[in-house]
């Protein structure tokens, strides 16, 4: 598919690579669609996303085929998207269903229909693929487990690349430094030997144990009162930019995190995360995620101080044993990018 005139900025190498274009990316929360059409930018392409009369979520270029008005500035009438300029109206599948200026009985011209992109909803999020999907949206088993509740968080804009974010989410050696204000223990700087493995059929990464400071917010999240709690964790990736972390406490409480980095362009990204917990619902969702949001803010503050994109080749940066998972993620991503 070729689109012209809709790009926010010229696509650069990573955003233009078919591996990235053929992947699913989370761009918005489903709940945001209730307030009308949403403007999002994915891989340099401006999109409008809305829910149609048949409850289908559609993603299309944010440009009306008539005179290029941004459709995201329009409104919904019975689920149909009405352009703010001359009122052309779009329904299921982006089909133009009304041209107000046309005489009665005259159908919209064939080229008035929007060219749509692959779009799905999963985990309370809207996912878009600009190319042709080569793999499904990564699976989270707990989504179908009635013992777990799901909590969604706002979609934030981070001034950093999705590659730097993914690298950060796979890394635990920054905990005692970046996260010393939340759960990081300044004295626990040593990372035991990292053994990489298939965590399951979709996630590749490692298992480890950490002691975490259990402050007020942490105590709400862990459900425990001790000053320090032990967490049995896994962290793994699913290409290109999906990371899953699982936290298991001795009490039987499990806290699963899906950390999603979506390139707006090569140096700006959306960040959202989804939490699944097998708790007793005695703590509100807002309180549960306050701790994770504070941790995310610490990562954002750090990453926004780094310039440009993460060099993907293994010779530019110096890595150590503790970086093994990120090194393997970069190796696999590079291999996939190079193959195209």
Tell me the residue nearest to Fe ion as measured from the CB. Answer: 299
Closer residue to Fe ion, CB minimum distance, 21 or 255: 255
**Rounded-to-integer distance, Cα 310 and Cα 313, Å:** 9
Out of Fe ion, ligand FES, none, which partner does residue 299 contact, by CB within 5 to 8 A per kind? Fe ion
Q: How far is the CB of 64 from ligand FES (least distance, A)?
A: 3
How many CB atoms are closer than 10 A to CB 284?
11
The candidate with the shortest Cα–Cα distance to 274, out of 140, 120, 143, 152, is 152
Out of Fe ion, ligand FES, none, which partner does residue 139 contact, by CB within 5 to 8 A per kind? none
**Rounded-to-integer distance, Cα 165 and Cα 57, Å:** 27
Q: What is the DSSP letter of 158?
A: E
User: Which residue from 142, 266, 292, 299 is in contact with Fe ion, where contact means CB under 5 A?
Assistant: 299
Q: What is the DSSP letter of 187?
A: T
Give 119's Cβ-side CA count (13 Å radius).
27
Q: How far is the CB of 9 from ligand FES (least distance, A)?
A: 22
- With the C-alpha atoms ordered 213, 217, 219, 222, is the resulting torsion angle positive or negative? negative
Which burial class, exposed, middle or buried, applies to 289 when counting CB atoms under 10 A from its CB (0-12, 13-18, 19+)?
Answer: buried
Out of Fe ion, ligand FES, none, which partner does residue 275 contact, by CB within 5 to 8 A per kind? none
User: Which residues in 101-120 contact Fe ion (CB under 5 A)?
Assistant: none
Q: How far is the CB of 44 from ligand FES (least distance, A)?
A: 22
How many chain residues interact with Fe ion (CB under 5 A)?
1
Under the binding rule (CB under 5 A), the answer on residue 266 touching Fe ion is no
Q: How far is the CB of 184 from Fe ion (least distance, A)?
A: 9
Closer residue to ligand FES, CB minimum distance, 22 or 98: 98
The candidate with the shortest Cα–Cα distance to 23, out of 164, 132, 166, is 132
Residues that bind ligand FES (CB under 6 A): 64, 66-67, 69, 83, 85-88
For 83, phi and psi rounded to 5 degrees? Answer: -65, 140
Closer residue to ligand FES, CB minimum distance, 36 or 87: 87
The candidate with the shortest Cα–Cα distance to 205, out of 171, 173, 175, 174, is 171
Out of ligand FES, Fe ion, none, which partner does residue 67 contact, by CB within 5 to 8 A per kind? ligand FES
Percent helix, percent strand, percent coil in the chain, to nearest 5: 25, 30, 45
Q: How far is the CB of 230 from Fe ion (least distance, A)?
A: 19
Out of Fe ion, ligand FES, none, which partner does residue 66 contact, by CB within 5 to 8 A per kind? ligand FES
The 10 Å CB-count burial string (b at 16+, else e) for 33-46 is beeebbebbbbbbb
Closer residue to Fe ion, CB minimum distance, 95 or 174: 174
Choose the stretch contacting Fe ion; rule: CB under 5 A; options: 208-216, 262-270, 295-303, 327-335: 295-303
Tokens 């299309």, located at residue: 60
Q: How far is the CB of 270 from Fe ion (least distance, A)?
A: 17
Closer residue to ligand FES, CB minimum distance, 86 or 301: 86
Closer residue to ligand FES, CB minimum distance, 63 or 300: 63
The residues binding Fe ion (CB under 5 A) are 299
């Amino acid at each position: 598919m070729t689109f012209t005139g809709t790009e926010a900025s010229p696509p650069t190498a990573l955003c233009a690579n078919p591996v990235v274009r053929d992947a699913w990316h989370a761009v918005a929360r489903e709940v945001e669609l209730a307030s009308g059409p949403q403007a999002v930018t994915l891989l340099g392409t401006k999109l409008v996303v809305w829910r149609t009369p048949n409850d289908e979520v559609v993603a299309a270029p944010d440009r009306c085929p008539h005179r290029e008005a941004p459709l995201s500035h329009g409104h919904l009438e019975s689920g149909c998207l009405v352009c703010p300029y001359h009122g052309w109206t779009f329904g299921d599948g982006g089909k133009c269903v009304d041209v107000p200026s046309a005489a009665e009985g005259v159908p919209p011209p064939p080229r008035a229909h929007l060219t749509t992109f692959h779009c799905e909803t999963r985990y309370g999020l809207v996912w878009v693929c600009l190319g042709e999907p080569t793999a499904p949206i990564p699976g989270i088993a707990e989504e179908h487990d009635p013992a777990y509740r799901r909590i969604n968080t706002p979609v934030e804009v981070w001034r950093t690349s999705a590659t730097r974010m993914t690298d950060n989410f796979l890394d635990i050696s920054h905990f005692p430094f970046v996260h010393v204000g939340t759960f990081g223990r300044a004295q626990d700087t040593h990372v035991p030997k990292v053994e990489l493995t298939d965590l399951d059929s979709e996630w590749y990464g490692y298992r480890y144990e950490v002691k975490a400071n259990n402050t007020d917010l942490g105590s709400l999240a862990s459900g425990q009162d001790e000053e320090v709690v032990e967490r049995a964790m896994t962290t793994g990736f699913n290409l290109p930019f999906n990371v899953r972390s699982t936290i298991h406490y001795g009490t039987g409480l499990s806290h699963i995190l899906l950390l999603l980095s979506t390139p707006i362009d090569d140096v700006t990204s959306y960040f959202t995360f989804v939490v699944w917990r097998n708790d007793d619902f005695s703590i509100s969702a807002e309180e549960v995620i306050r701790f994770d949001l504070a941790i995310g803010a610490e990562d954002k503050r750090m990453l926004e101080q780094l310039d440009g994109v993460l060099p993907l080749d293994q010779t530019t940066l110096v890595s150590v044993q503790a970086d093994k998972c990120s090194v393997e993620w970069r190796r696999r991503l590079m291999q996939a990018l190079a193959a195209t």
